């Protein structure tokens, strides 16, 4: 199944989101510590979803807003596709950091944390720690 991920940020579009290319492109900016804020549009033959993401200079990615295309974890391809793409592009496992996002659809996020597709300090407090190093 083909899944497409597009971004609204021009730097991510221009570099195809490849971490090393983004870092190279960002050299010479005002600061070495940057954050690209974007919407990711994830399109598959069965769904379309949009999530807000923050991409950081150190490879960290934070999911700041997301409405699942499908709330059934066994049929939702969004998080799995994003996680796979991030691994291929050189970014770290995405994390969710806001209480509101973690507590909304708690079991949904807990499932993806348990299989290593997202990390979250909030979920770790609720369901136990997992080492992501």
For residues 12 and 34, the answer to whether their CB atoms sit within 8 Å is: no
Measure the CA–CA gap between 89 and 21, rounded to whole angstroms: 10
Please report where in the chains the tokens 């991030």 appear, as a residue: 86
Provide φ and ψ at 68, rounded to 5°.
-60, 145
> Residue 116, SS3?
coil
Q: Which residue has the higher pLDDT, 57 or 124?
A: 57
Instruction: Compute the Cα dihedral for 61, 64, 65, 66 and give only its sign.
Output: positive
| Measured distance CA(40)–CA(63) in Å, rounded | 10
Residue 75: per-residue pLDDT: 74
Domain ranges of the chain: 4-127
pLDDT average, residue stretch 82-91? 93
pLDDT of residue 16: 94
The pLDDT assigned to 133 comes to 42
pLDDT-derived band of residue 130, with 50, 70 and 90 as boundaries?
very low
């Amino acid at each position: 199944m083909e899944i497409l991920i597009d971004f609204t940020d021009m730097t991510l579009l221009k570099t195809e989101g490849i971490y090393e290319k983004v870092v190279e492109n960002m050299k010479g900016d005002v600061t070495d510590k940057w954050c690209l804020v974007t919407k990711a549009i994830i399109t598959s033959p069965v769904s379309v979803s949009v999530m807000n993401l923050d991409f950081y200079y150190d490879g960290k990615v934070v999911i700041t807003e997301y409405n699942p295309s499908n709330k059934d974890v066994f049929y939702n391809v969004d998080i799995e596709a994003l996680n796979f793409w991030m691994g291929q592009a050189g970014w770290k496992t995405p994390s969710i950091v806001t209480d509101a996002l973690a507590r909304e659809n708690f079991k949904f996020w807990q499932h993806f944390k348990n299989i290593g597709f997202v990390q979250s300090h909030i979920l770790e407090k609720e369901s136990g720690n997992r080492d992501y190093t």
